[in-house]
Structure formats: C-alpha cells, structure tokens
A and B are shown apart, each in its own frame.
Chain A
Amino acid sequence: MAYDKVIDSAVLEADLTSVADAIREKGGTSETLSFPDGFTEAIAAIESGGGGDDTICGYEKRSGSFTLSEDVTSAYTVEFEEMANKFRSDFIIMGWIDFLTVHGTIINTYNGGQLSDFFLTYSYWMNGSRAETGYAAGRNTSGSTTSNSNASTSRTYNSFTVPFSSTQKGIAGCTYNWVLVAMKK
C-alpha cells in the first residue's frame, strides 16, 4: 500500500474524539462510537426539532410541554423562543394546549409585533372525567364566534399565558402539550 499523506495519529484521534463528543452531546448518549459507522448511525438517530424551534410548511412553529408540580389556580406563563416574524402583520398565531386530545384553536390576527389574544382551548382528563373549556377570541371549534373574556392577555412573541383559575385549575401531575404555528392569514 502506498501512503499519500502522513498524519499525526494523536491529533487525528483528538479530532475524532471531538467530533464524537459533539455527536454524543447532541444525541444525548454516552456510548462509544466507532468510526465511521457509529458516527453516521448516531447522527441519523438524532431527533430533529427538539424544543419545537422549527417550521411547518414554511411557517414558524414552537412547541413544548409542561407538568405542574402542584395545582395552579392563576395565570401560568409559558415561554418559547422568540419568533422571527414578529414584525409581520399578516400572520395568525394558532395555539393548542392539550393534555390527551387535540381540540380547537382560537385564531386572531397577529398585529403590530404582538400576539393578539389567542386560543387557548384545552381539555384535560382528571380521574376519568373530561373537562373542556374554550377561551375564544375568534371562533371556537364549532365555528361560532365567542367572546374573549377568558382569552390570554399575554402580548409578547416569546410567551403565552394559560388562564388557569380557581374554577379551571391547572392540575398537578398532568402534562400539558402545546403547539404554536405562525400561519399566514
């Protein structure tokens, strides 16, 4: 065999270890990775979109979940990475917050760099009983217009508020999943 280049094996090993460490950190693993098959397999296994900072159909999407340690009877704020399109006035923010089933969305315009009152229609199962509440600033799941008296008053593009209350508690131990999509009107 003829050699076309002489390299420092210690440097090469250090470089490969650096790449492997980066792959392990991103993939959330501590396993030893063989080169090249282990590297390529680990990279392929890395989930995309962790944390929900990506797009769907070209529009910005944010998603996440939260589980309350104790019952919550007041407004609860959820943060997300700031949307880039906050200066667009023709985007609609749709939001869901869901425990076990997906429910309708309440949509309103996204205006002047602020999120307008939006969703949150949510439901949750509690000890086998289903409780469903709609908070509207637009249309509910039946297509009827509703008042927005219970709508979120959060007006930022990096957080929204879940209007828990004494009559609509956030339940300890329940995991609430949420998705926000900035869609063009």
Chain B
Amino acid sequence: MRYYAQYNESGKLVSIGTGYGGVEITEAEYNTLLTEIREKAVLVNQLYNGEITIDSIPTEWQEEIQRRVDERIAAEGEAEEQDIPAEEALAIILGGEV
C-alpha cells in the first residue's frame, strides 16, 4: 500500500491518501496525519457549535481552527445573502414586514 501526502503550491497540506500521486509517506506518517486531520475537524465543528472555546484548543492549532470556523461562518453568510427588491429593502428599514 502506497501512502501519500498532497501539498499545494504554498506547501500547505491539502490531503493524504492511498495510491498514486502526491509525496510518498510511510504508513506511520499517514496515520499520524490522519489522526491530526480528524482531531482538527472535530475541533472546528465544536468551536463552530459553541461547544468549546478557543482556549481549550491546543495553542499551536488555535489560529488554524479559528480561521476555519470564520471561513465556514462567512461561507454560510454568503449562501444566505440574496438580492431583494428596493421596495422590500425600504420596508424593512422603515420597520415594515420582514
């Protein structure tokens, strides 16, 4: 079984996997990275859901976890945005029906 790590142009880890491609790594390295990836994903979900605070995250991960949560919030905000007619917007501003 061939294990690999895939990095982007900036040297940031994009993915790990089995099979062809990327930079070959050992099984032990793969398992270590897999554990870290999944731990971070859990922390992102927990911080996003308010189940934990940033202080309960390992210091070296705080910046990344916070960034990913901020990105998720921003992405959801974009998805919810929608154009509305000027009249509707005016009605909202003036305290009319939303």
How large, as a class, is the contact surface on chain A?
Answer: 20 to 34
Any chain B CB within 8 A of the CB of A67?
yes
Contacting pair B2 A166 (CB below 8 A)? no
Contacting pair A172 B18 (CB below 8 A)? no
Binding site for B on A (CB under 8 A): 28, 47, 50-53, 62-71, 73, 76, 78-81, 127, 166, 171-173, 175
Binding site for A on B (CB under 8 A): 1-2, 6, 13-22, 27, 34, 37-38, 40-42, 44-45, 68, 72, 75, 79
Taking a contact as CB atoms closer than 8 A, the residue among A51, A71, A173 that contacts B20 in the complex is A51
Contacting pair A67 B37 (CB below 8 A)? yes
Contacting pair A172 B19 (CB below 8 A)? no
Contacting pair B37 A73 (CB below 8 A)? no
Residues of A within 8 A of B38 (CB): 173
Given A47-B1, A50-B1, A69-B13, decide whether A64 and B75 contact each other with a Cβ distance below 8 A: no
Q: What does DSSP make chain A's interface, helix, strand, loop or mixed? A: loop
Q: Closest 7 interchain pairs by CB?
A: A64-B19, A173-B41, A79-B21, A66-B17, A50-B1, A173-B38, A172-B41
Contacting pair B40 A166 (CB below 8 A)? no
Residues of B within 8 A of A66 (CB): 6, 15-17
Q: When chains A and B are docked, how far (Å) is the Cα of A69 from the Cα of B22?
A: 14
Minimum CB–CB distance for A69 against chain B, Å = 5
